[in-house]
Amino acid sequence: FAAAGYSTALVDLNAEALSRSQASIGTILDDGVRLGKVDADAAVAAKGRLSISTDLAEGARGAALLVETVSEQLAVKQAVITAAEAVLAPNAVVATNTSALSVTEIATASKDPSRVIGMHFFNPVHKMKLVEIVRGLATSDETVAQTRDYSDSIGKTSILVNEAPGLTTSRMSAMLGNEAMYMLMEGTATAEDIDTAHRLGFNHPLGPLELGDATGWDTRLAVLRYLHQTLGEKFRPCPLIIKMVAAGRHGRKTGAGVYEYRDGQKVPNSGLKGGVL
């Protein structure tokens, strides 16, 4: 937002997280200048437009747009929205970056739920073009249009999702990862070949098994269980995922998932063998 010309306030209760964020945004802009993607003066101006604060009332005062990205807990998000609304500009758009919570439910904390909407960004945010805009039950057409304009103005491509479990991206990604694990479990192909098939056959930057290792199969399993509960049988978690999580093979972060990792690097030919059940 700061790079696109908006006066931007970054708010967090944790002062250390705030300084780290400000420093990392500075590094991203400096790298952009070095790579010739960002004009040097524009980078200086963007840094100048970014302020940090541990005080929500100070950071949000008079703002036309709030994008809350606090911890993925309903009560925390609702409390932030209630507090921010006391100081935001009249008719401000209140956006939530939630990945899995209900925008409709978050909006019940607002004095005007028609102004509340989902604005779901993807990591790393400065590189990833997509924003999923999520319409809750009460979100107005005007709020959708304003949010689309904000998204366009920062150079993102937005899609509109009528609130549903897993939106579009998490739902498809969960299905793909689950199916890949069923194939591995059945011995259809090796882990390496299943990932290669997706990278070379579909031009996916990562195969579904290495992506699951990066995301963490514990997180994946939680998402699948939620989708199974809300959307039905087709999302039943693959038994191999349940087994791997029980064994502590959560992925990169535990040093092993479908593959093994040494010093953060994938060990060649370390994929779980097919037909393991």
Ligand X SMILES: NC(=O)c1ccc[n+]([C@@H]2O[C@H](COP(=O)([O-])OP(=O)(O)OC[C@H]3O[C@@H](n4cnc5c(N)ncnc54)[C@H](O)[C@@H]3O)[C@@H](O)[C@H]2O)c1
**Which of the ranges 29-37, 94-102, 136-144, 181-189 carries the binding residues for ligand X, by CB under 6 A?**
94-102
Asked if residue 15 binds ligand X (CB under 6 A), the reply is no
Return the number of the residue (39 or 58) whose C-beta is nearest ligand X.
58
User: Nearer to ligand X by C-beta: 80 or 95?
Assistant: 80
The SS3 assignment for 160 reads strand
Which is nearer to ligand X, 98 or 151 (by Cβ)? 98
Pair 257, 213: CB distance under 8 Å: yes
| Cα distance between residue 181 and residue 157, in whole Å | 31
Contact segment (CB under 6 A) with ligand X among 116-124, 133-141, 236-244, 253-261 equals 116-124
CB of 222 to ligand X, least distance (A): 12
Residue of 68, 85, 132, 192 marked catalytic: 132
How many CB atoms within 10 Å of residue 233? 6
Judged by CB under 6 A, the residue of 15, 23, 44, 76 near ligand X is 76
Catalytic (active site) residue 163: no
Q: Which amino acid is at 60?
A: A
Options 2, 3, 12, 118; binder of ligand X; rule CB under 6 A: 12
The per-residue DSSP string of 4-30 comes to TT--EEEE-S-HHHHHHHHHHHHHHHH
Question: How far lies 62's CA from each of 9, 59, 114, 204, in Å?
Answer: 11, 9, 19, 42
Q: Which residues of 152-164 are buried (b: 16+ CB within 10 A; e: fewer)?
A: eeeebebeebebe
- Asked if 104 interacts with ligand X (CB under 6 A), we say no
Residues from 45 through 74 that contact ligand X (CB under 6 A): 69-72
Catalytic residue numbers, as ranges: 132
Q: Which residues would be at the binding site for ligand X (CB under 6 A)?
A: 11-14, 17, 69-72, 76, 80, 97-99, 120-121, 123
